[in-house]
Amino acid sequence: MLYSEATVFKHESPSQLIHTMPDIWLPGSSLVREDGVRLEKIGSGPERQDHFKYRDSDVSFELFATCFDVNLEPTDTWRVYLALALKRYSSLQGIEISAAKEQAITNNIREALLAAPRYRDQPIIKEVKFG
């Protein structure tokens, strides 16, 4: 699927630090698309996992992802723990996520994470894997 200029994710942050150091993605910062799709970093977890909140016009849920290997070194790949997040969302909301909606969410998260800022000494993200 090709995305128009209007569907590019933009980095937003309530922190003034982001204006002087744009390669830092602080908790509270979001990647936002013009249509309202948002991936917000809300914290960090164990073993360098990042905690996110995904929102679009239909759903809103939390998920974890990491871009570090087993030695906690940065990699060029995000690993997103989406299956568990969607299962938890479906269970809590009492609704099933359709295969088409799951694919749209997957595409949105992939696009957002490929646009995510990185520290200058970390590799550029080339791939986003889901599990």
In tens, the pLDDT along 23-50 reads: 455 556 888 899 999 999 888 877 788 8
Q: In a 3-state reduction of DSSP, which class is residue 25?
A: coil
The dihedral formed by the CA atoms of 126, 77, 130 and 114, expressed in degrees to the nearest 10:
-50
Among 36, 16, 35, residue whose Cα is nearest residue 26:
16
Model's pTM, two decimal places? 0.81
Q: Cα–Cα distances in Å, from 78 out to 6, 58, 109, 113? A: 24, 24, 10, 7
Give the per-residue pLDDT at 20: 41
- Average pLDDT of span 72-93: 94
Q: In a 3-state reduction of DSSP, which class is residue 113?
A: helix
Give the per-residue pLDDT at 43: 85
Which residues lie across from 12 on neighbouring strands? Answer: 30
Q: In a 3-state reduction of DSSP, which class is residue 60?
A: strand
Across the chain, mean pLDDT equals: 83
Give the per-residue pLDDT at 39: 94
Q: In a 3-state reduction of DSSP, which class is residue 8?
A: coil
Q: Cα–Cα distances in Å, from 47 out to 35, 69, 92, 102? A: 33, 9, 26, 26
Give the per-residue pLDDT at 27: 59
